[in-house]
Amino acid sequence: MEKRIIDNEGGIKTVGHYDDLKDEMIVERVQDVESVLKSNKALYNETTGYTPSKDMRHVASIPAVVVEDLIKRKIWDDKKKMKQWLNDPDNRFFRTSHGAV
């Protein structure tokens, strides 16, 4: 399978994989999310997430490639599904504050 970087912009690589046997092209979007997850962990452990006025709370930081996936899966624009996704323990690494959304 031949692999080629199609684009590399804003920390997101678009990689094309061509499969000769199937005569098919697969496009993959890749992002190094380690810095986002490290920052999320620090915020989660060191802050409440609330602004000084307590009228807003920072609850998550989600890398662009994950947002793209959420859009494809029709979660991003659905308030109820997005809350469920954010409150799912499997997605805790994207959270920046304690408590349920």
pLDDT tens-digit map of 69-93: 999 999 999 999 999 999 999 999 9
In terms of domains, do 51 and 82 share one? yes
Per the structure, the complete domain to which residue 47 belongs is given by 33-101
In terms of domains, do 65 and 16 share one? no
Per the DSSP assignment, residues forming a β-bridge with 51 are none
Per the DSSP assignment, residues forming a β-bridge with 7 are 14
pLDDT tens-digit map of 11-69: 999 999 998 899 999 999 999 999 999 999 999 999 999 999 999 999 999 999 999 99
In terms of domains, do 87 and 55 share one? yes
Enumerate residues 6+ apart whose C-beta is below 8 A from 83. 101
In terms of domains, do 61 and 97 share one? yes
In terms of domains, do 41 and 24 share one? no
What the block records as the tokens of 97 is 């504050």
In terms of domains, do 14 and 42 share one? no
